[in-house]
A and B are shown apart, each in its own frame.
Chain A
Amino acid sequence: MRIVVIFTLAVVNVILESTLFQYTRIYGVKPDFSIMIIVAYAIMRGSSYGAFTGLGIGLLIDMLYGRTIGINALSYMITGYIIGQAHENVFKDSFIPSFIFNLIAVIIFQHGFILLSYFSNNFPSTGIPYVYMLVKIILPQSIYNAVIGSIVYRYIYKLDEASFMNRRIY
């Protein structure tokens, strides 16, 4: 059941991110709701959940919007895997881990994404200075993500604690 819920969450998230959540942009920076979900599952369930949730969401985004398949998938998967390493050492019912790990996750993801884009020739050839990207996009997004993510985390946590999650449907 949990797999089904995560998959549904991923699909709905991808749809909403490409449509409704576009209106959450502040100065052109949109929080990454995929990362919120990945971080939530990585904290609650560990690296395996983090990595495969990331892989799933990344593949969906790649298929729908990517020119090159795999960039988002690989970046999200690695992000989920790394964040999942902290799984055993954090309090799951506090919002603080989600805040901090959202902050870190955005930075990891964006660097992975930029590197992969660069090596797969998907990066604008004109080139954007790294400092500009860091200050204008990555850091604002990570803070924005951390704030929204810690709110979203509470709801995902409650959902995950619900009793129907452990029911077997097959």
Chain B
Amino acid sequence: MKIRNKLFISVIIISILLVVLIAFTSQGRTRPGFVDGLFGRIITPVQRVFYSSGEFFKNTFKSLYELRDLKTENEALTAEVEQLKEQNRQLIQMALENNRLRNLLEFKGANTQFDYIGASVTGRDPGNWYDVYTINKGSKDGIAVNDAVIVSHGYLVGKIIEVGVNYSKIMAIIDERSSVSIIVNRTRDMGIVSGDSDSDVIAIMELEADIVKGDDIITSEYSTLPKGLYIGKVKSVEKQERKLQKVVIIEPSVDFKRLEEVFVVKPVE
């Protein structure tokens, strides 16, 4: 009991001291006293370590927590990426188409002697031998047999060989059955080109014809096709002395593997 009283009395005394301390410091301190200043100086670096480690733990747990949502987020983002890719593909296609049509338009502006009928390629002969394409325009659009078919820049594709009401067939110049009268643009030497088993065309010319690699080949006026349509560049020339002829291999400017929009041209009457 005695020790209790002693404790009680000391608690009361300390309380009074603390109240006095509170009263003295209640206006707030701007500078620490000697003891608390020293204590603060020692303890602050330690606190910094713990505080920054606390930040570390906080961030770690936060990222663990976020892991849960990551899967759904990932799925959503993947779907979005697919969608955007598809859109991008479409846009690139449209840009390329736009480019092709613009080229065609330039050619059209420069060559007003023709009527132009735009058409889309709808199919290609599935066999390996012939190069026949179908397009989605026919006699009701004014297409007739032997009309020339071109792509942008005025490159010659071939000619119409059959006309339906709403479709037509084109025989490409690379078809082995096709033959087109041509002229060498530089020297005006004439010849006839026909298709090859490759995607090139071959011209048989006189031995004296002045033709070298790189010459431009265009249609001549003796052709059923309009004159001056561009076919391609000479790839190689081979002299056949005994047959008194030159075999000229021409690389067409048209990309026959990627034929999409074509124009049927007719001379203006």
A residues apposed to B, CB below 8 Å: 11, 14-16, 18-20, 22-23, 47-48, 51, 55, 60, 63-64, 67-71, 73-74, 77-78, 81, 116, 120-122
Contact = CB atoms under 8 A, between A and B. Distances in A.
Interface in B2-25: 3-4, 7, 11, 14-15, 18-19, 21-23, 25
B26 A120 contact: yes
Nearest to B51: A19
A20 B25 CA distance: 29
Contacts of A18: 47, 51
B36 A70 contact: no
B46 interface: yes
B18 A73 contact: yes
B109 interface: no
Interface residues of B, number: 30
Interface of B, helix, strand, loop or mixed by DSSP: helix
Given A20-B54, A23-B54, A48-B7, A74 B39 contact: no
Given A19-B47, A19-B54, A48-B7, A67 B18 contact: no
Interface of B: 3-4, 7, 11, 14-15, 18-19, 21-23, 25-29, 32, 35-36, 39-40, 43, 46-47, 50-51, 53-54, 57-58
21 contacts: A15-B43, A15-B50, A18-B47, A19-B47, A20-B57, A48-B3, A51-B7, A64-B36, A67-B25, A68-B25, A69-B36, A70-B19, A70-B25, A77-B11, A77-B14, A78-B11, A81-B7, A81-B11, A120-B22, A120-B26, A121-B27
